[in-house]
Structures are given as structure tokens and as C-alpha cells.
Amino acid sequence: MRLVLVLGDQLSENIAALRQADRAQDLVVMAEVAAETQYVPHHPKKIAFILAAMRKFAARLREDGWQVAYTRLDDPENTGTVPGELLRRASETGATDVVATRPGEWRLIEALETVPLDLEILEDDRFIASHADFDRWAEGRKQLRMENFYREMRRRTGLLMEGDKPAGGKWNFDTENRKPASDDMFLPRPSRFEHDDTVAEVLELVETRFGGNFGQLHPFGLATDAAQAEAVLEQFIHAALPAFGDYQDAMLAGRPFLYHSLMSAYLNVGLLDPLDVCRRVETAWQAGHAPLNAAEGFIRQIIGWREFVRGIYFHEGPCYVERNELGHERDLPALYWGAETGMVCLREAVAQTREEAYAHHIQRLMVTGNFGLVAGIDPAQLHEWYLAVYADAFEWVEAPNTLGMSQFADGGLFASKPYVSSGNYIDRMSDYCGTCRYSVKAKHGDDACPFNLLYWHFLNRHRARFSSNPRIATMYRTWDRMDAQRRQAILHGAENFLKKMDSGAQV
């Protein structure tokens, strides 16, 4: 008999370890453990989602004839860690061999490697590019750019290809995907699921144990099994995909989901298969149900960005998460944990994160991420925040997005410029600024939008690094052309704002 480890984000019947196992003889080990539920203060919705999905997956495996040793969080014998549970099951059964699928975090890979059992770790092949594929692609390249990698993935999968040419004659339709939304638009309602007995039981457990963590547990309507996740996919293709491309970057107060797919959490834990999802989206385009800019934009996020950031995470190794090339050391301000703020964009992004354990990409990148970068917040603290608060957050995908794409903490390994902006960008893409206590039009002075001040403060303090970057050199020329008094007023305003925020006062 062998032990077959299945982790909380490996909930696919097709996962490598299960494919290699023998259902007549082997024992599947699944465990809810303190170490995984506490390594960051996860949002209660995220914990409930994962534990409920684990319990339902274990039940399904049993129905399919597998033997499953399942540890519940409140099991008195629970050792509290994944390696501990493997050792406990080994001593109960006399098994010495373990087969596992490679975890998505170095932390857990390293912990597993210390287990004194005969452990075979298989590659997680739910991804299109293996680690070797990515390393081969990256080798010898001066710059690691998603766009080049994405084209290879298009060729490899044949998605949206006409022979060896991209469908529609272009690889990327991003320039068509930047429409701001208006609040009288018809928006699809996201699927919400009734609580079955498993979900109800898990919600009680999570309420008791993790009710004090940042985040609202109720109302809870996430999908917790493959059939429900499939319903989310169907609903997305039917109702949201046609407008997905156009409004991908838009933000509206009180409308957290817009035309986004809400699929990241389901993809990341294994309830949906990424290639299957992309093929279904391609079919919708072929059938004339969605325009090419929507289908291409969506498929690029999955076979492009998702695969690419995973490649980066494993290519760079465990120390990636410690990088801080810009030397940012400011503590994460309390507003990220819901302290009152007059900045409507941040208040909205944080409030919906607290309610939904979800924010869409532009909110993560251009609101909470942008603020972190221009304010000089310690990227390690931001990394921990993003890892904790989103239901889809696992280090392989969260860390490169936070440290690399959003915070430039890896020195621009794959981002060609830092994602910083003044308030103008947020104003163009959202309806936030109209009700804000700050004025997005004011460039300095007490009422000036903090992004307008901090944007220049950032460029000024990192001049040596960025002034020769062709993608932002023009901004330095604009700065240099401003009269000295105005520059002084902006920098002074930014310093005052940061001082106030650091003192704990409301900003």
C-alpha cells in the first residue's frame, strides 16, 4: 500500500498522484491542518471554500471506490501539519511509500522533502508548460516577456490559430479592451450556491475558529465542487464573455464583478481545468457568441499570464518572495485591513475584498498595488496581505503578480516598467473619484488626490533607476519642465500625506 497525498488545491480526479495510484490498494491522504489554515491570516471565505471543497472531493473519491483517510481540523488526533499527517497515516497503516503531486508553494515542498518516508513527488501537469518547458524557453533570454511566451502557448495549444497564424491576424487585441464602464450597464449576476450539509458544517467550524480574521464569511455562495464550478463557467460564457474584453479594465463602485469570470479560485484548486475552459471559450467565439477581442483577452490571461507567472515562480526559486529591489520599507497601513479612509478607490477595493475575498485584476494592480508602490510599502507585507485576503491566492500565482508585476520588487524581471499612475488613470477607468473627498483634478494642495502627489514622489525618489527607461522617460521630462515651486509643493504634499498615514491618522 502507498499513501497518496492530495492537498487542498489539488482537487482534480485527474491530478498526477491519483493517476499514478492504484484505487484497489492505495490510501488517499487528505488533511485539514492548522499549518495550512494559519500560515497567513486567510480570509474566512477562503478557508471555508477550501475545506468544503476538500470534504466534498473526498466524498466523491470514496464514491468512486477510493479509500480515503481524511483528517478534519477538529480531529483530536490531528498533528497540525501535512508532513505530520503523512507520518501518522504511515504509522497507522505500516505504509512507507508516498506519492504526491508537487505543491504550489516552496514552503510546503521543502516541508515535504523532510518527511522520513519514501516520497515520490510528481510534476503538477494541470499546467500547459512544465517547469522544464519554461526553463528552456527562459534560457538565454535577456528579457522574460509574457507576450513572447504567450505566442508559444498559442502555437502549442492551437488555440485561436489559423494554421500558423493568429486568428484575426493579430496575437493580442488588448488595445480594444480598455473601455470604462458606466453604472447603467446591464451586468450579469454571478452564480451563488445554496449551502448543502457539508458547506453548512464547514461554515460553523470556520466561524468559530477564524471568525476574527479579516473578511466576511457570510453571505457565502462560492462553488465548492466541480459541478457547481462548471455552472459558473457556463454562466460566464453565456452572460459575461461577450463583454469581457471591452470592460476588462473598468471599475465601478458597488459592482465588484463586472464581466469578469470569477474563475481563478476554481482553476487554482482544481475544480476547473484551464485548457478545457479555454477550449470552451474558443468554441463560443467560433459559434459567433463572443467577439475575438473577448475570447483572445480571456485566453491570454490563462495560457499567457497564468502559465507565465507560474513559470517565473518556480524558475526563480524560494528566495523570490524576499526580493525588495526598490528598498521599500513602509509598514502596511491599517486601511488595507479596513481602517476608514477618505480615498474612495481604496475604500471600495478593500471593502469588496472584505466582503467577497475577491477583487478583479485592475483593482489589485492599479488601486491597492499602485498605492503600495507609490507609497513605498514593504513588498513582503503586501505579499502577505494578497496571499491572505483572496480566495484564489496561492503563492505560485500571487507572489509573481505582487512582487513582480505590481511592486517591481524583483527589479523588473518581467515587467518592463513599474505599474504606477496618478489619479487620472483611476478616474478614467472608474466612477470612484466623483464621490471622493480628494480632488483628482487638484495636482497639489490639501485636497489633491494622494495618487497625484505620490506618483511624482515615487518617480523622483527612484530617478536613478527609471529616468533612462524609455517607457517612462517622458514623465521625467514632464517633471523637469514643471516649475520648481510646483515640484516642491507636490513633494511636500506627498511627504505630509505619508507622515500622516504613518502616524496612524485617517487619510
Contact residue for ligand DLZ among 2, 8, 274, 431 (CB under 6 A): 8
Work out whether 436 is an interface residue with ligand SF4 (CB under 6 A).
Answer: yes
CB atoms within 10 A of CB 11: 25
Q: Which does 103 bind (CB under 5 to 8 A by kind): ligand FAD, ligand SF4, ligand DLZ, none?
A: ligand DLZ
Hey, which residues does 97 pair with through a beta bridge? 2, 118
Contact residue for ligand SF4 among 44, 190, 450, 493 (CB under 6 A): 450
Q: Which does 390 bind (CB under 5 to 8 A by kind): ligand FAD, ligand DLZ, ligand SF4, none?
A: ligand FAD
φ/ψ bin of 357: left (φ > 0), alpha (ψ from -120 to 50), beta (otherwise): left
Calpha distance 7→121 (Å, rounded): 13
Q: What is the DSSP letter of 333?
A: P
CB atoms within 10 A of CB 388: 20
Smallest gap from residue 485 Cβ to ligand DLZ (A): 52
Residues making up the chain, counted from first to last: 507
Rg of the chain over all Cα atoms, to the nearest angstrom: 23
Work out whether 423 is an interface residue with ligand SF4 (CB under 6 A).
Answer: yes
Q: Which does 95 bind (CB under 5 to 8 A by kind): ligand FAD, ligand DLZ, ligand SF4, none?
A: none
Under 8 Å between Cβ of 431 and 183 = yes
Grid cell of 227 as nine digits: 459541478
Hey, which residues does 122 pair with through a beta bridge? 101
Work out whether 3 is an interface residue with ligand SF4 (CB under 6 A).
Answer: no
SS3 120: strand
Place of cell 494554421: 163
Calpha distance 427→348 (Å, rounded): 14
Candidate segments 6-14, 268-276, 284-292, 431-439, binder of ligand SF4 by CB under 6 A: 431-439
Q: Using the minimum distance from each CB to ligand FAD, give the nearer residue, 4 or 290.
A: 290
Smallest gap from residue 350 Cβ to ligand SF4 (A): 12
Contact residue for ligand DLZ among 104, 270, 404, 412 (CB under 6 A): 104
Helices and strands in the chain, H and E counts: 24, 7
Work out whether 345 is an interface residue with ligand SF4 (CB under 6 A).
Answer: yes
Q: Which does 406 bind (CB under 5 to 8 A by kind): ligand DLZ, ligand SF4, ligand FAD, none?
A: ligand FAD
What is the four-CA torsion angle of 311, 312, 317, 322, rounded to 10 degrees?
-150
Q: Which does 374 bind (CB under 5 to 8 A by kind): ligand FAD, ligand DLZ, ligand SF4, none?
A: none
Contacts of 503 (CB under 8 A, 6+ apart): none
CB atoms within 10 A of CB 369: 24
Candidate segments 34-42, 113-121, 277-285, 407-415, binder of ligand DLZ by CB under 6 A: 34-42
Q: Is the peptide bond before 219 cis (omega within 30 degrees of 0)?
A: yes
Q: Using the minimum distance from each CB to ligand DLZ, give the nearer residue, 83 or 103.
A: 103
CB atoms within 10 A of CB 34: 14
Which residues sit at the interface with ligand FAD, rule CB under 6 A?
A: 260-264, 267-268, 298, 301-302, 305-306, 309, 360-361, 364-365, 369, 386, 390, 392-393, 397-398, 401-402, 405-406
Smallest gap from residue 438 Cβ to ligand SF4 (A): 4
Q: Using the minimum distance from each CB to ligand FAD, give the nearer residue, 127 or 386.
A: 386
Residue type at 234 in one-letter notation: E
Q: Using the minimum distance from each CB to ligand DLZ, give the nearer residue, 16 or 31.
A: 31
Contact residue for ligand DLZ among 3, 4, 7, 309 (CB under 6 A): 7
Binding site for ligand DLZ (CB under 6 A): 7-9, 31-33, 36-37, 42, 47, 50, 82, 103-105, 108, 394
Binding site for ligand SF4 (CB under 6 A): 343-345, 423, 426-427, 432-433, 436, 438, 440, 449-451
